[in-house]
Amino acid sequence: MDVQPACQVLRTEAALRQAVARWRMAGPPVALVPTMGALHEGHLALIRAGAAGGAQVVVSIFVNPKQFGPNEDFTAYPRTEAMDVALAAGAGAALVFAPGVEVIYPAGFATTVRVGGLSEGLCGAQRPGHFDGVATVVTKLLLLCLPDAAYFGEKDFQQLQLVRRLAADLNIPVRIEGIPTVREADGLAMSSRNRFLTADQRRIAPLLAGVLHDIALALAQDGARVAAELAAGRRRLLAAGFDPVDLEVRAPADLAPLERVTGEARVLAAAWLGRTRLIDNVAILPGSGSFAAG
C-alpha cells in the first residue's frame, strides 16, 4: 500500500461544501468514497477507481453509530485516522472528510431513511436497524458532498443495492459505482474486521470464499441444485468452525430469494468465526460454466 504524507482533512459541512464548490467552478468531476476508516486495499481500490475517472476524490471517514446494534462492535471498531489519511492520499484522494458525530447528527436530529424490501432480509434480518443507519448516513453524505459519482464495494452487496435504490428513489443526482471485492492471496475478502480474527480463525477464514465459489460454479452448471448446494456449503462451513452460517442465493437487483437459478444470480454468505462476523458474495453466471468473484 502506498502511504503519502497526507491530504487535507475537513471536519465541517461548510468547509466541505466550499472545497467542492471550488472544484465545481474549475470543472473536474467530484467522487465520494464513503468509509468508516480502518482503510485496506478494498477501500483503496474504490479511491483509485474514482481518481482514474479524473475526479477529485473525497474520502469520508465516519464510524456511524446508527448502523451498529446495542451488542455490536461500535466501541471496538478500529479508529486509525492518521494512517487512513496517508493511505487515502497515496491512493489519489484529494481530501478526507472526517466529521464528528455532532456534525452528522446534531442535537434534535430526528430523520431516518429506510429502504423497504432491500433492507429486510440477509444482513438486515440479522442486524435489525443496521440498514436504516446505513441508508440515513449515506443519504446525508451524498447530500453534503453532492458528488457526481459515489463508490461502494461489491463485498457489501446488499448495501450497494440499497444505496442504488435510495439514490434513485430520492432523486439524488449521483452515479453509484460498484467495485469488485478485493481479496487476500488466499481468497479472503478484505474487511476492516479481519484484524479481529485469531491466527487459527484467519487460517480457516478463506474457506468462506472457497465455498461460495464452489456453489457459484455448481449452480452455473445446474441451476436446479440451489437447496442441495446451499446445504452442502453450510455443512462444510459448520464443520470447519463457522457458526452460525447464513448462505442464500438471491436475484442481484432486488435480492429476491431464488430456489432455482435461471439467469444472473448471487450467492451471499454471512458466517461467524468466534466473535467475528464475516460476509462475502459471488456472482453466478449461468451457462458460462464459471462465476465472477464479486
- In the bound state with ligand PAF, the residue whose beta carbon lies nearer, of 160 and 205, is 160
Specify the 3-state DSSP secondary structure of 248.
strand
Site map (CB under 6 A) of ligand PAF, residues 236-265, x = contact: ------------------------------
Q: Are strands 93-97 and 290-292 parallel, antiparallel or unpaired?
A: unpaired
Decide: residue 150, CB within 10 A, 0-12 exposed, 13-18 middle, 19+ buried: buried
How far CA 159 is from CA of 137, 178, 286, in Å, comes to 12, 10, 24
Half-sphere exposure (Cβ direction) of 164: Cα atoms closer than 13 Å:
17
Q: Tell me the closest approach of the beta carbon of residue 134 to ligand PAF, in angstroms.
A: 5
The only residue of 20, 36, 104, 216 in contact with ligand PAF, by rule CB under 6 A = 36
| Residue 138 Cβ vs ligand PAF, minimum distance, rounded to whole Å | 6
Nearest distance from C-beta of residue 207 to ligand PAF, angstroms: 23
List binders of ligand PAF among 59-78 (CB under 6 A).
64, 67
What is the closest distance, in whole angstroms, from the C-beta atom of residue 64 to ligand PAF in the complex?
4
Please say whether the beta carbons of 96 and 9 come within 8 A: yes
Asked whether the bond before 29 is cis by omega within 30 degrees of 0, the reply is no
**Range list of H helices, 73-170:** 81-91, 101-104, 122-126, 130-145, 157-169
- Distance, in Å, from the CA atom of 189 to the CA atom of 151, rounded to the nearest integer, reads 17
Q: Which is nearer to ligand PAF, 63 or 204 (CB)?
A: 63
Q: With CB under 6 A, what is the number of residues at the site for ligand PAF?
A: 10
- Between 30 and 207, CB nearer to ligand PAF: 30
Task: Say how far apart CA 226 and CA 249 lie, in whole Å.
Answer: 7
Asked if residue 34 binds ligand PAF (CB under 6 A), the reply is yes
We find the least distance from the C-beta atom of residue 40 to ligand PAF, in angstroms, to be 11
Closest by CA to 207, choosing from 233, 227, 232, is 233
Task: Retrieve residue 156's grid coordinates.
Answer: 457489501
Of 64 and 181, CB closest to ligand PAF: 64
- Residue 137 or 249 having the CB closest to ligand PAF: 137
Determine which one of 40, 43, 130, 213 is catalytic: 43
Complex with ligand PAF: residue 153 or 233, whichever CB lies closer: 153
Burial class (CB in 10 A: 0-12, 13-18, 19+), 53: middle
Angle, alpha carbons 150-197-267 (nearest 5°): 55
43 catalytic residue (yes or no):
yes
Which parts of 118-177 interact with ligand PAF (CB under 6 A)? 134, 137-138, 156, 159
Give the CB-side neighbour count of residue 187, counting CA atoms within 13 A. 17
CB of 141 to ligand PAF, least distance (A): 7
Binding site for ligand PAF (CB under 6 A): 34-36, 64, 67, 134, 137-138, 156, 159
Provide the annotated active-site residues.
43
